[in-house]
Each structure stands twice: as structure tokens, then as C-alpha cells.
Amino acid sequence: MIPAIHTSHHAITHGKYRISACPRALPCGRFAAQVSVASGQGSASTARIMSFINEFATHEDAASYSLAQGLDWVHRTASTH
């Protein structure tokens, strides 16, 4: 069974994971890509934050890259378990 993917502006829910893009503005006017991959609820929740060295011209480009990398991490993690 393939879990459903639900999307919002800069977040994806994929199975038990919530993948959230967290782009940040750089002093030079470009954007850095960051992503949070969280699972669980309440005191049993965990989150992994990943930052990338790539710089992007727009907030949207950084967010798209972040979501793609987070989704790739979830797929790789799920395939090893």
C-alpha cells in the first residue's frame, strides 16, 4: 500500500512523516534551503532538521528544493526498514 501524500504551501505529509520547508534569507539577498522531517506526536515526536549549502534566487526555489530533499530522505529511510 502506498501512503497518501497531502500537501500545503511548504509542507508535505507522507505516511507518518511531516516534511516542512524552512527556507531562510541570506544577507546577500539569496535563500538557503532547510527542511524539517518530523514524526510522532506529543512527547513521542522526533524531528530531523537538514540544511543545505545550495543558494537559491527565490524563496520558492529554496522551498521546492527543501521539500524534494526531505521527501527523498523519507523514501530512503522507509526503504531501509
- Please indicate, yes or no, if residue 25 is contained in any of the structural domains: yes
- Asked if the structure places residue 69 within a domain, the reply is yes
Residue 4 has pLDDT above 90, yes or no: no
Q: Report in angstroms the alpha-carbon separations of 7 from 14, 65, 71.
A: 9, 15, 12
Domains of the chain: total: 1
Answer whether residue 1 is part of any domain. no
For residue 6, pLDDT beyond 50: no
- What's the pLDDT tens digit per position in 37-71? 999 887 888 999 999 999 999 999 999 999 999 99
Tell me which DSSP letter residue 31 carries.
Answer: E
Question: How far is Cα 64 from Cα 61, in angstroms, rounded to an integer?
Answer: 5
Q: Is residue 3's pLDDT more than 90?
A: no
- Please indicate, yes or no, if residue 56 is contained in any of the structural domains: yes
41 HSE (CA, 13 A, CB side): 1
Alpha-carbon distance of 53 to 33, in angstroms, equals 8
Residue bearing the bigger pLDDT, 78 or 33: 33
* pLDDT at residue 10 in the model: 78
Residue 3 placed within a domain: no
Residue 17: helix, strand or coil by DSSP?
Answer: strand
Rounded to an integer, the average pLDDT of 25-43 is 92
